[in-house]
Amino acid sequence: MSLTTSPTNDLRFNVQGTLGAAGGLVGAEISAFDPGSDRLFVTSSSGLQVIDLSDPTAPSLIELIDFTTLGFATTDITSVAVKGGIVAVALPAANKANNGQVVLLNANDGSLIDSVEVGALPDMVTFTPDGTKILVANEAEFLADGTAGGAGSVSIITLGGGSPTVVTAGFAGFDGQEAALRAAGVRIFAGQSVSLDVEPEYIAISADGTQAMVTLQEANAVAILDIATATFTDIVPLGTKDFSALLADFSDRDGPSNGTLTNLTTGNPVAGLYMPDAIDSFESGGATFYVIANEGDDRDDFLNPDETIRLGNASYDLDDATFPDEAALKANADLGRLTVSNAPGLRGDTDNDGDIDQILAYGARSFSILDASGAIVFDSADIIERIVVSEFPALFNDTRSDNKGPEPEGIEIATIGGSTYAFVGLERSNITLAFDITDPDAVSYAGAARNAGDVSPEGLLFIAAEDSPTGTPLLVTSNEVSNTISVFSVTPTFRLQLLHFADGEAGLLAADTAPNLAALVDAFDDDFANTLILAGGDNYIPGPFFAAGTDPTVAATHSRGDNPGAADIEIHNRIGVQASTIGNHEFDFGTRVFSDIVNDAAFPYLSANLDFSADTDISARYLETVGVNGLEDAATLARRIVPSAVVNSGGEQIGLVGATTQIVETISSTGNVEVKGFAEGTETNDMVLLAAQLQPVIDELIAQGVNKIVVMAHLQQFIGRFESRRSHCLPGVAR
């Protein structure tokens, strides 16, 4: 499926509950959940907030853990993760250039277990999948005076066997390679060594726990970490993204009177620096992939002068040959307001002649999928901005168009119903978008989660159904600016493929046509997780092939005895028919033969408007399923005739109700089987009567919780008339 702005609606998000300042919350950036205690842990500058999430519709604050009361010098925590009842908290030192700590708490009561010294400014913490190790990204961001805040690194903490141990992987091994890395596209600032310049931002770990990929946001790169040896094996530049053929709004003053205007344009000669923030991993086809949120970031908070500049600034001189329309580009309504890189050596002056040959903007306004080597195998191009504009125009923040746009920041991967999804939090559009990434070559937009009042989703947390207090998957968004957390239920949209064929009365052609039909059914069945295979009746017809069922050589292939028609029915069995309605040809040889046919079927026959009670040759095959015994599963009703049944598919119950042509007595040999509602000899096509007979059967299924019902009707030429009148004849049944 191609990536479009129209959602597939494969996922449905519903707000369950929210918690903010009124409930005592003093911050919300990163959250982690412990399924053993149903507690949610949320970071803040005042400490770790512990929230009771046993009822997601009413999250409540249990306590605020002040780390100074536990003997630490500060309580301004930056990250939290939970695994196996252990809460890991990243706690920077009061002087962020000094080594910080990872503090371990008991999830059940918040008591202190231990603490481990790590690197400078620990800013993201995560467990390996098996829970034996904790990795923390020591960001070591620049100080307020523009100098390095220490050496960026990742500390690996090993749990078990007494006190935890720690080893720290740094980037000193890349020192001296600055020129080569810059030439490859890694943003290493002038005069800086690699080890003091890179700032590890976020970590994702492979499913087997052997490799981690770390975003180096300011460097526009990712680093690959071998966990066993605590060694960075590579720094991979992410390069630039060509916006010239994409839609984007690069100005916050392109409207009337130099004001705002939602205005996606193309043909812009802009190269975006990916500069990812969050990262997460998933498996597809036996390979590991990583998903990054291409936010973009700068060091203006720490540098003087800033590393950024407006494209329209007079000192930002575009190369005349590359940009002959420089004057037009510098207009506010064009690119003049765009924030671009102006750091020495990193400003796009590729030939070092003092002017700009490549316009470098911050962020790619997208999410990307990388393979295990760090190569980009998919980028969402301009779809995020287009989705916001077309589907959520009120959320488009044009005041940020000049600087990173929607600002994808958070990434969370979830597996739901056999599919893999990436949740992408948009910091400036205040919404989380969901994409199906099961196949990186066929990504689709699945839906969106939004709670009015939430501003700037920062951290995203998925709680799988098996860990959820409700048994339903949950998504928790931590919203930094509004200081709120919101809990959404995440429900996969149930999709049922209905494979239906009628009049399987192939006769002598069956030897040629049955294999083709079986192949088609098999191929379609493989395409969908939930498939229902139904037959519409007239599954056989008098003729040589029907009689061949009695031939010993034929009987040997189907093991159904020597009944006439056994071969026809065995074809239906092997195709996988789960239920069939009753047509008129079922009665062509009388009710005794039909009874034998039913006995050969690995599925039930359905009809709610025929009365079998007076026919001794077949009445024993009939089983009443209306008003008795609850819901009867079709899988348990083989060799029976029933008015209704249910089929279980993908955890959902699908109701089946059968109907047979009301003129069957006049066109076939029904014996003492009667069409309900008619005096002898008065049978005719009466759709209102038929609907009245089917409605109680449908109503009973609905009353027992079945909300998906298939009416299986073999009505001869009157099926069109029934279809045209069904919407008002059968309330609650969609046409």
- Tell me the percentage of the chain whose pLDDT exceeds 70: 97
The confidence score (pLDDT) of residue 725 equals 53
Identify the band that residue 510 occupies on the pLDDT scale cut at 50, 70 and 90: confident
* Tens digit of each residue's pLDDT (9 = 90 or more) over 463-475: 999 999 999 999 9
The confidence score (pLDDT) of residue 665 equals 95
pLDDT over threshold 60, residue 728: no
Judge whether 258 lies within some domain: no
Residue ranges of alpha helices (H) inside 509-550 are: 510-527, 544-547
Apex 75 CA angle, 72 and 76, nearest 5: 135
d(CA 319, CA 335) in angstroms, rounded, equals: 15
The confidence score (pLDDT) of residue 720 equals 54
The confidence score (pLDDT) of residue 732 equals 58
d(CA 440, CA 432) in angstroms, rounded, equals: 20
- Burial (CB count <10 Å: 0-12, 13-18, 19+), residue 529: middle
The confidence score (pLDDT) of residue 721 equals 54
Judge whether 56 lies within some domain: no
The answer to pTM > 0.75 is: yes
Residue ranges of alpha helices (H) inside 23-156 are: none
Helix (H, G, I), strand (E, B) or coil at 324: coil
Q: How far apart are the first and last CA of the chain?
A: 26
DSSP-assigned letter for residue 494: P
Higher-pLDDT residue of 567, 331: 331
pLDDT over threshold 60, residue 568: yes
d(CA 354, CA 337) in angstroms, rounded, equals: 21
- Tell me the percentage of the chain whose pLDDT exceeds 90: 87
Locate 617 and state its tokens. Answer: 């040759």
Q: Are 322 and 310 in contact (CB under 8 A)?
A: no
Judge whether 262 lies within some domain: no
The confidence score (pLDDT) of residue 161 equals 79
Residues 295-307: what's their mean pLDDT? 95
Judge whether 591 lies within some domain: yes
How many residues comprise the chain?
735
pLDDT over threshold 70, residue 283: yes
The confidence score (pLDDT) of residue 114 equals 97
DSSP-assigned letter for residue 298: -
Judge whether 487 lies within some domain: no
Q: Are 421 and 434 in contact (CB under 8 A)?
A: yes
The confidence score (pLDDT) of residue 733 equals 61
d(CA 712, CA 715) in angstroms, rounded, equals: 10
C-alpha to C-alpha distances, 460 to 54, 425, 463, 650, nearest whole angstrom = 19, 7, 10, 27
pLDDT over threshold 70, residue 542: yes
Question: Which strand (E) or helix (H) includes residue 261?
Answer: none
Residues 721-725: what's their mean pLDDT? 53
Q: How far is CA 493 from the centre of its chain?
A: 11
pLDDT over threshold 80, residue 556: no
* Tens digit of each residue's pLDDT (9 = 90 or more) over 603-645: 999 999 999 999 999 999 999 999 887 889 999 999 999 999 9
d(CA 469, CA 460) in angstroms, rounded, equals: 18
d(CA 227, CA 166) in angstroms, rounded, equals: 12
pLDDT over threshold 60, residue 185: yes
Distant-in-sequence, close-in-space partners of 332: CB < 8 Å, separation ≥ 6: 251, 253, 254, 258, 312
* Single-letter residue type at 407: E
* Tens digit of each residue's pLDDT (9 = 90 or more) over 388-422: 999 999 999 999 999 999 999 999 999 998 899 99
pLDDT over threshold 90, residue 722: no
* Single-letter residue type at 501: F
* Tens digit of each residue's pLDDT (9 = 90 or more) over 90-109: 999 999 999 999 999 999 99
Residues forming beta bridges with residue 489, ordered by sequence position: 14, 474
Q: Are 563 and 555 in contact (CB under 8 A)?
A: no
Judge whether 480 lies within some domain: no
- Burial (CB count <10 Å: 0-12, 13-18, 19+), residue 68: exposed
φ, ψ dihedrals at 110, nearest 5°? 75, 10
C-alpha to C-alpha distances, 190 to 224, 342, 357, nearest whole angstrom = 23, 12, 19
Residues 522-547: what's their mean pLDDT? 89
Domain around 514: 497-729
d(CA 327, CA 446) in angstroms, rounded, equals: 42
Judge whether 512 lies within some domain: yes
The confidence score (pLDDT) of residue 448 equals 98
The confidence score (pLDDT) of residue 629 equals 79
Helix (H, G, I), strand (E, B) or coil at 414: strand
Q: Are 650 and 703 in contact (CB under 8 A)?
A: no
d(CA 313, CA 651) in angstroms, rounded, equals: 61
d(CA 396, CA 426) in angstroms, rounded, equals: 11
The confidence score (pLDDT) of residue 557 equals 75
Residues forming beta bridges with residue 674, ordered by sequence position: 611
pLDDT over threshold 70, residue 726: no
d(CA 449, CA 461) in angstroms, rounded, equals: 13
Of 420, 242, 233, 254, residue with least CA distance to 335? 254
Distant-in-sequence, close-in-space partners of 425: CB < 8 Å, separation ≥ 6: 278, 293, 408, 409, 410, 411, 412, 432, 457, 458, 459, 460, 477
E strands, 583-732, are: 605-606, 610-611, 641-642, 644-649, 652-660, 674-675, 708-714
d(CA 427, CA 425) in angstroms, rounded, equals: 6
Of 629, 566, 567, 555, residue with least CA distance to 599? 566
Q: Considering the chain, what is the average pLDDT of its residues?
A: 94
The confidence score (pLDDT) of residue 436 equals 97
Residue 110 backbone class (left: φ over 0; alpha: ψ -120 to 50; beta: rest):
left
Helix (H, G, I), strand (E, B) or coil at 170: strand
Residue ranges of alpha helices (H) inside 374-509 are: 383-391
Q: Could you tell me the CATH number of the domain that includes residue 598?
A: 3.60.21.10
When divided into structural domains, the chain yields a total of 1
* Tens digit of each residue's pLDDT (9 = 90 or more) over 226-281: 999 999 999 999 999 999 999 999 999 999 999 999 999 999 999 999 999 999 99
d(CA 310, CA 338) in angstroms, rounded, equals: 6
Q: In what order do the strands lie in the sheet with 431-436?
A: 408-416, 419-426, 431-436, 444-449
Distant-in-sequence, close-in-space partners of 520: CB < 8 Å, separation ≥ 6: none
Distant-in-sequence, close-in-space partners of 701: CB < 8 Å, separation ≥ 6: 631, 644, 646, 655, 657, 709
Judge whether 104 lies within some domain: no
Identify the band that residue 566 occupies on the pLDDT scale cut at 50, 70 and 90: confident
Q: Are 672 and 591 in contact (CB under 8 A)?
A: yes
E strands, 467-576, are: 474-479, 484-492, 497-501, 531-535
* Tens digit of each residue's pLDDT (9 = 90 or more) over 491-503: 998 889 999 998 8
pLDDT over threshold 60, residue 315: yes
* Tens digit of each residue's pLDDT (9 = 90 or more) over 656-705: 999 999 999 999 999 999 999 999 999 999 999 999 999 999 999 999 99
Q: Give the DSSP per-residue string, 559-627.
A: -STT-TTHHHHHHHHHHT--EEE--SGGGTTHHHHHHHHHHH-SS-EE-SSEE-TT-TTTGGGB---SS
Residues 161-187: what's their mean pLDDT? 96
Residue ranges of alpha helices (H) inside 229-330 are: 326-329
Q: Of 545-559, 667-681, 702-716, which gets the smallest average pLDDT?
A: 545-559
